[in-house]
């Protein structure tokens, strides 16, 4: 009988399948179902920096009410929706009470700022860990890659300083050197690295000649990018590695574990196939382990990482050259 138990960022999980930050967490019945069908843990959808800023602006509006001295302040701030950040916190508290599996909160940020205090409030909801997603589209021609990375480290340091629970960083695949950024984050004692954030790119509608945004689920083909970087990072950083993007089957999850993932996050495949699909993934992993005679994840995790490969160059340029020349 094989055991799927694992430890992610110091938190024991009954298996490595984690529901990724997504709309699945928007309904408590869905979160409960994810637990019932066997999910090892779940990441609650993000609290966005913009939501926090809105709430802070509203607070300033409140301070200005009744003030004779700065009546113009009332018209300075546009009418805004508010309360979203505190509603998000209440939502997490409600979800925390509904299930026993480990839960992670997610903070989605753009730049360093006072919003980082919210990490503490997220921690106070009783979540087991925090996932920090730093995502901005870099369009400033005067800002170098190094400056952008420094901002990332500043954000991570400020969030780490706020909380005692473990913190994972969800990375973009677009850094010039993913390994260098991962190493720098490792030095800052980040507990987990989540590879990779998936960007929703708009397309262009040719009839209306306008931008068109729609939610497109990932495909299994997209697994290859995070798979490669997990394989390259395994055994080279202290942080646990979580894979996200393109896990659409139990076989994909096995690939991720063989590359060296500690946990495997799933969103699109579960949204497409329904929450019980989690149990199919788990059954397929167990079946494969039984066939192979593996009793724990440790028996095979990282077996196909660069560190453990006979040909370490297989993940680098040599393979690419070989493949192109053979066509
Ligand atoms: C409907 C939906 C909502 C999502 N919401 C968030 C979010 O709030 N925060 C976040 O960091 N990622 C979010 N994601 C990204 C997922 O966590 C995941 O990284 C991405 O979908 C790639 O994994 P997949 O191939 O399993 O879908 C969302 C994805 C989907 C499909």
Cβ-based neighbours of 132, under 8 Å, separated by 6 or more? 106, 107, 109, 119, 155, 156, 159, 167, 168, 169, 170
Sign of CA dihedral 120, 197, 230, 153: negative
Q: How far is the CA of 295 from the centre of ligand 1 (A)?
A: 31
- Predicted pLDDT at 140: 92
- Predicted pLDDT at 248: 98
Cβ-based neighbours of 111, under 8 Å, separated by 6 or more? 49, 136, 151, 155
pLDDT for 172 beyond 60:
yes
Residue 170 Cα: closest atom of ligand 1: 11
Q: Give domain status of residue 311, yes or no.
A: no
pLDDT for 214 beyond 60:
yes
Domain that holds residue 43: 6-302
Of the listed ranges 32-41, 78-87, 171-180, 181-190, the least confidently predicted one is: 78-87
**Model confidence, pTM:** 0.91
Average pLDDT over residues 295-309: 96
Q: Give domain status of residue 309, yes or no.
A: no
Residue 131 Cα: closest atom of ligand 1: 11
Contact criterion met (CB below 8 Å) for 266 and 247? yes
pLDDT for 213 beyond 50:
yes
Question: pLDDT (tens digit, 9 = 90+) per residue, 63-120?
Answer: 555 444 433 333 333 333 445 889 999 999 999 999 999 999 999 988 888 788 899 9
Q: How far is the CA of 200 from the centre of ligand 1 (A)?
A: 10
- Predicted pLDDT at 63: 52
Q: How far is the CA of 108 from the centre of ligand 1 (A)?
A: 12
For a substitution probing ligand 1, which of 42, 242, 267 has the most ligand atoms within 8 Å of its CB?
267
**Which residue carries 């509608």 as its tokens?**
205
Q: Give domain status of residue 145, yes or no.
A: yes
CA pair distance 23, 159, nearest whole angstrom: 24
Exposure b/e, 165-199, CB count within 10 A at least 16 = b? bbbbbbbbeebeebeebbebbbeeebbbbbbbbbe
Average pLDDT over residues 51-72: 57
Tokens of 173: 């695949």
- Predicted pLDDT at 314: 74
The residue whose CA is least distant from atom 12 of ligand 1 is 21
- In degrees and rounded to multiples of 5, residue 8 shows phi and psi of -120, 120
- Predicted pLDDT at 91: 94
For a substitution probing ligand 1, which of 16, 22, 46, 270 has the most ligand atoms within 8 Å of its CB?
22
Q: Give domain status of residue 159, yes or no.
A: yes
Q: Give domain status of residue 76, yes or no.
A: yes
Average pLDDT over residues 5-17: 98
Ligand 1 site, CB within 6 A: 20-23, 45-46, 106, 108, 133, 170, 198, 215, 218, 244-247, 266-269, 271
- Predicted pLDDT at 64: 54
Preceding omega of 204 cis (within 30 degrees of 0): no
- Predicted pLDDT at 164: 97
How many angstroms from the chain centroid is the CA of residue 59? 30
The residue whose CA is least distant from atom 23 of ligand 1 is 245
Cβ-based neighbours of 305, under 8 Å, separated by 6 or more? 230, 231, 232, 234, 235, 259, 260
pLDDT for 203 beyond 50:
yes
Share of the chain above pLDDT 70, in %: 89
Share of the chain above pLDDT 90, in %: 74
Residue 306: pLDDT band with limits 50, 70, 90: very high
- Predicted pLDDT at 117: 87
- Predicted pLDDT at 61: 60
- Predicted pLDDT at 35: 98
- H-helix or E-strand spanning residue 43: strand 41-44
Average pLDDT over residues 298-313: 90
Average pLDDT over residues 210-217: 90
CATH code of the domain covering residue 96: 3.20.20.70
- Coil, strand, or helix at residue 148? helix
Cβ-based neighbours of 146, under 8 Å, separated by 6 or more? none
Q: Give domain status of residue 13, yes or no.
A: yes
**Domain total in the chain:** 1
Q: Give domain status of residue 170, yes or no.
A: yes
Q: E strands, 82-239, where? A: 103-109, 129-134, 167-171, 192-195, 203-205, 210-212
Q: Give domain status of residue 317, yes or no.
A: no
CA pair distance 189, 182, nearest whole angstrom: 11
Q: How far is the CA of 112 from the centre of ligand 1 (A)?
A: 22
Residue 267 Cα: closest atom of ligand 1: 26
Question: pLDDT (tens digit, 9 = 90+) per residue, 241-266?
Answer: 999 999 999 999 999 999 999 999 99
Average pLDDT of the chain is: 89
Tokens of 156: 């991570």
């Amino acid at each position: 009988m094989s055991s799927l138990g694992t430890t992610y960022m110091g938190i024991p999980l009954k298996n490595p399948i984690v529901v990724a930050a997504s709309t699945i967490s928007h309904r408590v019945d869905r979160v409960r179902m994810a637990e019932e069908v066997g999910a090892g843990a779940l990441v609650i959808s993000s609290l966005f920096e913009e939501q926090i800023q809105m709430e802070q602006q509203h607070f300033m509006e409140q301070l200005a009410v009744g003030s004779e001295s700065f009546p113009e302040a009332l018209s300075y701030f546009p009418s805004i929706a508010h309360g979203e950040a505190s509603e998000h916190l209440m939502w997490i508290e409600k979800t925390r009470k509904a299930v026993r599996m480990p839960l992670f909160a997610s903070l989605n940020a753009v730049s360093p700022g006072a919003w980082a205090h919210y990490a503490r409030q997220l921690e106070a909801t009783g979540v087991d860990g925090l996932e920090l997603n730093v995502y901005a589209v870099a369009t400033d021609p005067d800002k170098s890659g190094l400056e952008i990375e420094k901002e990332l480290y500043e954000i991570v340091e400020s969030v780490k300083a706020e909380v005692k629970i473990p913190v994972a960083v969800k990375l973009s695949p677009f850094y010039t050197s993913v390994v260098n950024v991962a190493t720098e984050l490792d030095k800052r004692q980040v507990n987990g690295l989540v590879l990779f954030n998936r960007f929703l790119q708009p397309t262009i509608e040719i009839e209306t000649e306008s931008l068109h945004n729609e939610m497109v689920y990932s495909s299994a083909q997209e697994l290859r990018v995070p798979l490669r970087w997990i394989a390259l990072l395994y055994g080279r950083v202290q942080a646990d590695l979580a894979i996200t993007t393109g896990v659409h089957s139990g076989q994909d999850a096995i690939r991720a574990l063989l590359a060296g993932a500690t946990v495997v996050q799933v969103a699109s495949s579960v949204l497409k196939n329904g929450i019980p699909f989690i149990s199919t993934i788990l059954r397929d992993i167990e079946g494969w382990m039984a066939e192979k005679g593996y009793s724990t994840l440790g028996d095979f995790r990282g077996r196909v990482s660069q560190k453990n490969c006979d040909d370490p160059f297989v993940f680098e340029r040599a393979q690419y050259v070989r493949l192109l020349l053979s066509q």
